[in-house]
Amino acid sequence: MSDGYQLIATGKLDIVLRAFKSGEFLLAICHWIIQQLYVELNVQLAGVKIEVIKIEYIGAYPGLAIRYENPTERTNLGPLVEATIDRLLEERPLDEFITFLGASSTDWLALDTRIMTEGN
């Protein structure tokens, strides 16, 4: 746990995070993944918030984390979320991500700046 967050790390997500240096692009991917997780895991994520946070480990970069509404009465959803992320990154076609980007009105640069300068 880091500041009340359970960090999410998967092999496939790590490859994406290391491959792209654009914070805005990484944020867009992370937000697309979050949207897909809530669709895929719906009820299992009750009482859970998945967020993009600033992770600082040999530098700083955006990453995914779970925040439990009631941390004392939680189950460890990390393995389920991580397995779902890997499956999504492997199975979902690129056009789903492109459609997500086209429908979004998010200013990814402003969001990246806020997360990386203000923290979580």
Instruction: pLDDT band for 2, please (50, 70, 90 cuts).
Output: very low
In 3D space, the residue among 77, 66, 75, 83 whose CA is nearest the CA of residue 13 turns out to be 83
Total domain count, the chain: 1
8 A C-beta contact, residue 103 and residue 47: no
- Distances in Å between the alpha carbon of 42 and those of 11, 19, 45? 23, 29, 6
CB neighbour list of residue 87: distance below 8 Å, 6 or more residues apart: none
Which domain range does residue 71 map to? 6-118
Tell whether 1 is covered by a domain: no
Mean pLDDT of the chain: 84
The number of C-alpha atoms within 13 Å of 99 and in the hemisphere containing its C-beta is 7
Name the least confident of 1-5, 15-19, 39-43: 1-5
